[in-house]
Structure 1
Amino acid sequence: MEEYYLSCEDSLEGVFTGIYDAYLKKKPHEQIHICVGEEENYRLFAVYETCLPDAKKTASVARTIVREFGQEAYLSICRALASREMDKGEAVYKAVVAGFAMKNKKELMGNLSNPYIHRVFEMARFTANEAHYHVEFLRFKELENGILYAVIGPKNNVLTFIVPHFADRLPLENFVIHDEKRDIYAVHPAKKDWYLVCGDEETGRPERRCSDGERKYSELFSCFFHTIAIKERESYGLQRNMLPIRYREYMTEFQENEKYKK
């Protein structure tokens, strides 16, 4: 039995295009697989095809998912596709296939007995938790030009999930959030909508020298943070549980204290 492997770009647009093309083949879904990126080891007796992202196909799949499965299921799928896991394309595709076979399609994400739906649920939960952590732990610094600048290094591609939070709360501020792992910038001009910029574009590279006021307040905040603690009640195990170490290198209060670094 001939197997088909559709290689997609590591993005929501890439995977949604792959799902659209998979249905166009009119083949049993067990014979079709979606892989993110290129396969390292090609399989014998398998046909490999490359799916280039297509805006119309992406929009069609997105509308179908929202209409058939609901907005919450669509959001879970979007979160799963922001995961760093490379099996996300296959999991989302087979979860959608399983959803169409259900009597009550609105209960898609509740059908955790299906291994693919369960996998989508796991990846979506991990991404949502990481996005929540970054909303809590992200630290802005004021640059000399007045822009508020923050750096993050998430495991998953959560930038688009955290920017709306700050755009809603800081509508009058010019700010930039930089995902240094993927070299992507979220740029928010004051009183305007935010947008993404790739790192190779000069518009996404603001000067990073902090203002004099920022340096003074950073020192004061760091001093306050490290002197207010009661040494007899310090619990590094509890601290690591509440605030994972990997977030601390991007936080003002930990950057000047060596014992909190990795």
Structure 2
Amino acid sequence: MHFYTYDGSFEGLLTVVFEAYERKAWPDQIGREGEAPPGIFATHLFVPTDEAKAKRVWEGLGRKLSKEAWENVYKTYLWEQPGFEMLIFRFARLVFSSQQKGVEENFADACVQKIAAIGKQMFREKHRMEAFIRFQRTQDGLFLAPISPDFNVLPLIITHFEKRYADQPWLIYDVRRQYGAYYDLEQVSLVSLEEAPRGLRQGQLSPDILTEVEPLYQQLWQTYFDHVNIPERKNKKLHLLHMPKRYWKYLTEKKPRQQAHQPIQNKQVPTELRQLNP
């Protein structure tokens, strides 16, 4: 039994694919560095990441797959569910063993079916994150948004927010995986906070780090959300389908409304908002 391990990176996993072909020794299981072999008779091999080898595998897959199927390989890595490494390896072996393009259309193969299904799952989660992210402005001018997606979709949504919010610094932080995407008005960097702000995991940041007008912005959004709601057309089942409850703790409009129904004094409202609150 061959047990391959790698450093956990996508490039590392592609290097495992390269090494398996080079050694002509197909893995029975692939795991991250530090994982124990599945049995005392397993042949364990740690494969260090090699950028050049990973690039050859990745470009080789790209030449034989459609753009969508090619991207689904990376999405399967971000999917993170148990067994995703072997799924990618089996799919890569199927692609490289084919003499022509179009392997991704062979839905009689369970591996092809699974990769395609994962692609759809990841697309839905990506779309939800792009729609559900709510920023809160801190005192240092940073717009901060906590998220906790089912799958690791942060790398997939960066481009969307980089284009849409190019004029403000922001940080989208995945509290489940403890890393985030930080935009400094020039480029996006992946970061990890040594000490996360209070309330970040619950999506309700401490007032100590927020600007004094942030609660007013949130109150206005909650008021708008209440007013556009039509009670007679309420459909809870459909609402939950499009906005699952697990995301609610990060949504401003779903937070407790203790302050939402208190009248806002015009003098408290920033100048740019007074036209919305005459």
- TM-score higher than 0.5: yes
Match of 1:96 in 2: 92
Q: Aligned pair 1:75/2:71, yes or no?
A: yes
What's the TM-score, normalizing by structure 2?
0.81
Q: CA offsets, 1:157-195, max 9 Å, x none?
A: 1101001101012222211100110111101111x1211
- Call closer, same or farther: CA 1:257–1:127 in 2, change over 3 Å: farther
Q: Is the 8 A contact 2:138 2:209 kept in 1?
A: yes
Match of 1:175 in 2: 170
Match of 2:238 in 1: 238
> What's the % identity of the aligned pairs?
22
Q: Is the 8 A contact 2:37 2:44 kept in 1?
A: no
User: In the aligned structure 1, how far is the partner of 2:248 from the partner of 2:183?
Assistant: 24
For structure 2, the residue ranges without an aligned partner over 5 or more in a row are 259-278
Aligned length: 249
What's the TM-score, normalizing by structure 1?
0.85
User: In the aligned structure 2, how far is the partner of 1:201 from the partner of 1:221?
Assistant: 29
User: In the aligned structure 1, how far is the partner of 2:69 from the partner of 2:229?
Assistant: 43
For structure 1, the residue ranges without an aligned partner over 5 or more in a row are none
* Among 2, 7, 12, the residue aligned to 2:5: 7
User: In the aligned structure 1, how far is the partner of 2:224 from the partner of 2:168?
Assistant: 26
User: In the aligned structure 2, how far is the partner of 1:39 from the partner of 1:225?
Assistant: 48
Q: Is the 8 A contact 2:182 2:191 kept in 1?
A: yes
Match of 2:161 in 1: 166
Q: CA offsets, 1:102-143, max 9 Å, x none?
A: 2322x1322221122222222222112101110111111122
Q: Greater Rg, structure 1 or structure 2? A: 2
Please provide the CA RMSD for this pair. 2.5
SS in 1 for 2:24: coil
TM-aligned CA deviation for residue 240 of structure 1: 0.4
Match of 1:195 in 2: 189
Match of 2:138 in 1: 143
User: In the aligned structure 1, how far is the partner of 2:195 from the partner of 2:47?
Assistant: 26
The one-letter code sitting in structure 1 at the alignment partner of 2:7 is E
Q: Which runs of 4+ in 1 moved over 6 A?
A: 205-208
Q: For 1:197-212, what aligned pairs fall within 5 Å after superposition?
A: 197-200=191-194, 209-212=209-212
TM-aligned CA deviation for residue 150 of structure 1: 0.8
Q: CA offsets, 1:71-125, max 9 Å, x none?
A: 33221101111002121110111111111222322x1322221122222222222
Q: Is the 8 A contact 2:91 2:111 kept in 1?
A: yes
TM-aligned CA deviation for residue 40 of structure 1: 6.1
Which has the higher mean CA deviation after the structures are superposed, 238-247 or 6-15?
6-15
Match of 1:116 in 2: 111
